Structure 1
Amino acid sequence: MANSDSHSAPNPAPAEDLPQARTILIIGPDAERDNVYRHLLRAAAGDRILTERCDGPVVDLCHGQGVDGVILETHAPDRCGLELLERLRAQVDRPLPIIVIGDNDANLAKRALRAGATDYLVREQVTADTLAIALQTAMPLNQDCVGLRQQLQATEAALDDSRDELDRRSHIFDAVLSTITDFVYLFNREGRFVFVNQPLLDLWGLTLAEAVGKNFFDLNYPKALAAKHQREIEHVFVTGKTVKDESVYVSPKGVSGIYEYIFTPLLGADGAVTSVAGSTRDITHRKIAEAALRESEEKYRTLFASIDQGYFLVDVIFDENDQAVDIICLETNAAAIEIVGEDFTGRQLSQVSLTQGPRWYNIFGQVVRTGKGERLEEYVELNQKWYDFYLSKVGDADSRRVAVIFQNVTRRKRREANAAFLSDIAADFARLSAADEIMQTVGAKIGAYLNLSVCAFADIDAAGQTAVIDYAWHRPEAHNVVGVYPLSEFVTNEFLRAARSQETIVVGNTQTDPRTVAEQYAALNIHAFVSVPFYKDGEWKFLLNIYDSYPRHWHSDEIRLVQELSNQIFPRLERVRVEAALQESEERFRLSTYAVDGMVYDWNLQTGEVYRSEGLYRLINLHPEDVPSNSDWWATRIHPDDLTDVDAKIASILDGSGDRYEFEYRLRHANGQWLNVWDRGYLIHNQQGKVVRVVGSTTDITSRKQAEQEREQLLARERTAREQAEAANRIKDEFLAVVSHELRSPLNPILGWSKLLRSRQLDEQKQAYALEVIERNAQIQAQLINDLLDVSRILRGKLSLNKTVVDLGLTIQAALETVQLAVEAKSIQICTEIDPAFRLVSGDADRLQQVVWNLLSNAVKFTPEGGRIEVQLAYLDPYAQITVTDTGRGIDPGFLPHVFDRFRQEDATTTRQFGGLGLGLALVRYLVELHGGQVQAASLGEGQGATFTVKLPLLPVQQATQQSPQPAKPPTDLNGTRILVVDDDSTTREFIAFFLELQGAEVVTAASAGEAIAVLTRFRPDVMLSDIGMPERDGYMLMRQVRSLSLEQGGQVPAIALTAYAGEIDYQQALAAGFQKHITKPVEPDQLTEAIATLIKTNS
């Protein structure tokens, strides 16, 4: 049901001064948008507002409520609005002004105007002013045309009554139209004036008699404008649709202006257009006012566009209780859009990300009611940013508009929060004295403050290669990263270079940053981190790491905060560690002689004496009392290669300012073996700062060093394996590219010559050549597929041999015949030398012919025109040796070891001269080895030709009998054979049927499994041929259904699977489903007829 309301002015004017009240129908998507348009129309006093939905009884409402104008909001791609437009134009008995409001979409606007819209406004740009102008423009002009149309139709209807009545009405009509300041006129079917009112005649300076019967060309309108008007009049007559536009016109008196006009069809009793009525209005002043308004607005926008702060102007909507319930944004500047990240012009502020909900409505309402400005700082949870807002009322006391200037103050707020956080951490340092307590307390606070997954404190070894994490705070769902980490396994040299340059490393995504090893961090669920190296005396000592489990953009203030924390935490940690070490040094020394798995020593530099604990025996199997108590004896047991480094380190330790040391070297055991030992200790200074004692321990780390070496070896093996895998992948990718090229290349001549043949423009010689090219390229493609299938069978160990006694001489001869055309095309000379005495081997004749053919094809491919190929069959006890030698391009020595590898080609680039998949020679090697033979390749290099040698075991002498020539197979006769062909591909189905009918067979075809079952009810075939890959039910399903039938229903009909599925598994599946034979496409006709005849014979 439509809703209605009205607006009334508080001080009504006299009735004669009031504009006629309008009834406006709003068709919006929901009540919220209805309220927006009510608000925008509030300035039009006395208007009656109705609302309805697009799918409601809109046409009935227009008839029953006397609607004067419609505001229709539509959205692409929803067609409801456009369909309603067409329905209104067709079913409402008067032209109805319809303002369509939609997206900023030119196509949608064109479609709306074609469907009958009076005007089109972009939703985001609609204001109270633009909507009021659109209604004022559309409705009066339309009302004039409505009145004109009604009066003209009434006038025409009166013609049937009497001529006198017509004259009387005409005089009344002329008098009425002459009082209208707009121009009103009427055209006949020829596009000529039959009526013009006086204002237009005055503009032209003509009388009615001078104007009637003329068109725009006759009235000396500019040719382009006259042609445009005449086309528009004809368009109204042809389509019956109203035309509306604007034009600039200069009258014969020199009066110029901008005019808005409308041409409306007048219909006769039969519904046909009998004439066209026109109305024109001078809109020059309105256009000038609009231009002035645009110029003023442009200056205003330029001012706010130039400031850095965000600016927007809103209109506050109040309910009947004078409470702010919504806010509509009227304007924004570019800075506001950039700060917020979206353009919210023309939208309700509740839909904008920085809006803070109903509380904001109250604040904006207060500013409107009091007129006092308001400043506030707000934190927006959605984008986690702080904003500073200043709200100020705009306009007079009745205005409900508020201007807002705002800016992003997140950085300042963060700086303030960071300063407070650092102050809190400093208080922790003052009360905590243990390193563990400091790391636990500070780590937890950093993690919570920065919303981290992990906060880790790492010590860096002296070489700067290993990070040792003794403590790391982490959330319950995150990994505990405590441990020892070789940096090279997690980061690249670029990371290490930056760290050694004392730079902070910021990583937003470990999976894409080139400085990180992605899989290592993925295993720890670390996807972003900041690492701050800490240096002391030029040495990299510590690393503060903060981690996040998700990719993250680290803010600059967060990075600065972590840097400052590093500068405060690590000096404090080092200081408390030293203090703890000094307190425990005596106790540790007392216990060390018992606890250390090695030797503890105390070297008195003033006396030169060295005390060594009993751990010396555990270390090198010597008791302390059995060796000299000085440092010189110890030096004699250090590995000669390490002695210089050890002396240098000791000298550096004694001369330096540090109080700790550690290093490794090799030491000789009493049994003569060398141990890896780790020496570490402390320096004790006197009051003058001079080193007087060195206290430390020596530990056997041989096992650890061996483990490290094994780990390095394991890593090296892993790197090698990875490189090999990458190489294999690269070869595979290159092979797939070649497969694509080689499978597609034959299609070009096949498709090209096929189209030329279909054109029937080739002579007989060219037709024969075209067929030969098509056949040759189809065979090339079939051979490529067969090679791929053979390799697949080889890889799965499924390639088997059909062994018989094979005459290699006949095999070579057959292979030579296969390549004869290619040899003749390149004028290659072939020389053969075949030993007649040793030619018989045990093997698969077809596979051996494939071996020889591959070698010959290779030789022909790489031998230039006019070259020479030699083929030799010789005896080399106990082998028959086949040698193929060519004078071609030869083989690079570096590629020679890989010549028989799968998927390998000497030139795999896109500019290569020779095609192929790189499978032929791999098949040769496998087939030869499957026959118990050997194959070798030799070449002196590029341009020197190549020689391929195949050795095959000869049959024993007692079996070496000459093969008797087998009689030629009689031609297969299919006369009278009843055959059912099932294939969803019409081309294949028709070809097979045509060929079999040529052989005398009676053929019935079916395009699907369902058709085949239906055929079997009326046709009893001797053989059924079926494709496998068919829609709905495939060939396997069809065969299982056929085999379920009774004998009388054809359930035992012999069947052959005829399919492009050529794998071993496909063959097995076909037999399991009930087929007796499996033939792969493309099928040779002779092979097919022979298979059919054999199957019939077997089953008879």
Structure 2
Amino acid sequence: MQYLPYSFDAVICFGDQEQVIAWNPEAERLFELRAQEAIGRAWSDPEIERRLAGILPLLQAAFAGEPLQRAEQTVTRSDTSKAVLDIVVTAVRKESSSEPRVIAVIAHDVSLMRQAQAAIRQSEERFRFLNEIGDRTRALANPEEIMATVARLLGQHLRASRCAYADVEADGDQFTIRQDYTDGCASTVGEYHLALFGPRAVSDLMAGRTLVIRDVDAELAAGAGAEMFNAINIKAVVCCPLAKDGRLRAMMAVHQTSPRDWAEEEIALIEEVVERCWAIIERAKADAVLLAAQTLKGAILETSLDGFILMNHEGRILDWNSAAEQIFGLAREQVIGQLLGETIFPLRLREKHRNELAEYVATRDASVLGARYEVPALRSDGSEFPSEISIMHIPGTEPPLFARFVRDITDRKRAEVALRRASEEAETAARLVAESAERFRVLGEVVQLQVWTATLSGELDYANQQCAEYFGTDSADAVLGNAWTGFVHPDDLAGTARLWQKSLQTGEPYEAEFRLRRGDGAYRYFLVRAQAMRDGEGRIVKWFGTNTDIHELKSAQDEAERASRAKDAFLAALSHELRTPLMPVLMSAAALRADERLPADARDQLGMIERNVALEARLIDDLLDLTRIARGELHLRAELCDAHSLIGLALEIVRDDATAKGISLQREFGAVRSGLRADPARFQQLVWNLLRNSVKFTPRGGRILIRTSDDDGQLRIEVEDSGIGIEHDALEKIFLPFEQAENSGEHRFGGMGLGLAIARAIADLHGGSISAVSAGRNCGATFTVELPGATQAPTGLTSASTLSRAGHPPGMEPSSASSRTRPGLRLLVVEDHESTLQVLSRLLTRAGHSVVTASNLSEALVAAGKGEFDLVISDLGLPDGTGNELMEILRARHTLRGIALSGYGMEEDIARSRQAGFSTHLTKPIDFPQLQRALREV
């Protein structure tokens, strides 16, 4: 007992009467009861029970005979501080008895040790949590996604009701919560004013102090911000401000929907998290800016008209932009890894290039860097052209990398020679490069076109000096802030704006040709290209564009189009003037040939005249078809038809010519699926051209076989002849206009070489192909046509009215049923060509019709007003108007139907006559049976 006062542990002993017999100084401190007040009291004494409340169960067990009791208890002292005690209760027994002699209570204060252990656990947990924030946000580039992730992690870690991150505006009052985490409460994303949260919140946060409220209703009086906190269901809050550069920039707040006693370590954690969140967000923003800069650089290189080449210290090509591909005629894949000197320089200059590169790598003599010099360059086809080249050493690269900029200056050289202004051109180029360098550094030195960038609303936020010079301003800055559409010609604005809006919506590159107003008010045509610049999330941040002056090119194109239209008008007029005189000859010859009173030899001669007139008309048709093909205006009227029926009709057309030469015509229709979706008229024209070609080049007594087959949905048509054959090098040439395989210059076979060219065009329009094979001279030839979409043939043959659109050569149609029509029609015939009018009147009258003639529009209207007619037959080109105008008037006044008769046979001519009210359109020359068929059909 004498050592108890010196023990660091609290020691209390109870005797066998269950009264306190020892109570040392440490016991006095821990249990706040002096020894003289405790000794002698029973353990059941109320004061002892109150002091040792947590130990009583251990004492009861010891007095009940339990040998040793141990437990850890937390006691609360009068100053509300707590102590953690490691308590041991043991009993010392009397000899030969189970009753205790002394009960000893030993209490060791382990509070500091437990606090240290708790602090270590908290530190480890804090470290793990902060590492988790870093891991979860490291790969994120979107600031809002970073905010959301940090808010969620912090809210879950603190088991809070809500956690939010807010950006503060420059006024220090308005702030925006962009992302928040919630657990069982509503989101607070939106805009707020700090003043609404009361003066305490404003004072703490503006001073950079963390706002800590444990119970809103208890700590904030009415009108002091409690209403706003309660409105968004906040009863306790920790809000940590983040001040940078002398002003409040951001805040992070943790909310609880019930009062909460925030621990100091929780507050410290929130303060550290907001600092880390700011750093992570700023890093993401900096990365986005860097990416935008890289995108801008890439856009400059891809839209530049100058070649860009990246080269290593060995002279090997590492990169090659699209402009370089166009300049040298070599794709990027062909040149990567190749030596630059061997790729773009002529043989005589390659050693010089190697020596200069080696000298710079060895000495780092920068005298050649940055300079622009002219040097002959080499295209992929071996041709040389003048180029302008500049080179730079890219800073920070070791071994060094070099950027070369190449411009094809062929046009400039020609201009220099023509205008003798070489020195002025060089000075202008140097000045433009110097201005460009201020904005785009080395890349800008070679950009010789208008360069600009625009916001998403279309306002210019950058324009280079070339823009300023064109728009007539003192500097490029004077253009900024304007919508680029303000410089567009009013007539071009609607289409231009529509394309621009489409690019804005889809992000597709923008390209358009339109006129821009120059500083002096004049307009010039430009090719304007723009490419979207995107951030790390793929969102468009602005547009980068270039303007290329194409005014001279546009003027040349317009002039070419005017010349083309004039040529078409000339061909149409020539067709009309050539066709019209042929018609009375053809009609008269056909009518006389049908007159059985004439001798047979005379009728044969008349047939010869008829066929030659027909061939002349066919030549005119071929020339017009060729014009349509060249302009892409040969159109199809597709329908389901039977290929075998159409081939049979084509065979009938050429049969007379083949018989005259003693040529045997044979056919083998092996195709099971002979149905085809095609234009019947054009399909028949294709087959007829092939057959006519074989008849022309097959000697007397020869053989022509046409056969069909189908395979895998393809219909194959082969025309095989025993003709003069085709040399191998002429097999493709024969499909070109005005070309023939027989090229001796003697023109033994006649014709203009148009039939096969037209046949190939018709095959192409049907999605098919045509080819020729031959073993050579005097070995015959085989022409093969393959067309897609073979199917079962439709029931019934293609109608003759459908086939009339094919424009059979007049006088060469297949024989048909009687062409007689109902006699006694009252006809008004209008024609300004006197011979044609006389022949028409005579033949129609002889056929039993009542005919009234007129030679112009005025006479026709007078005649129509005096009598009644069943039908009008009218030429379209009249001296005082047009046949279309006449038809519109007659249809409105007299409900007459009509037949158009004209030398104008283009598709647009036919469409106009149909629109005017004509039931059918016949292209001159025609024979009388054709006219009779038209009368019957109408």
Relative contact order higher in (CA < 8 Å, ≥ 6 apart): 2
Normalising to structure 1: TM-score of the pair? 0.32
Q: When the two structures are superposed, what TM-score results if normalisation uses the length of structure 2?
A: 0.37
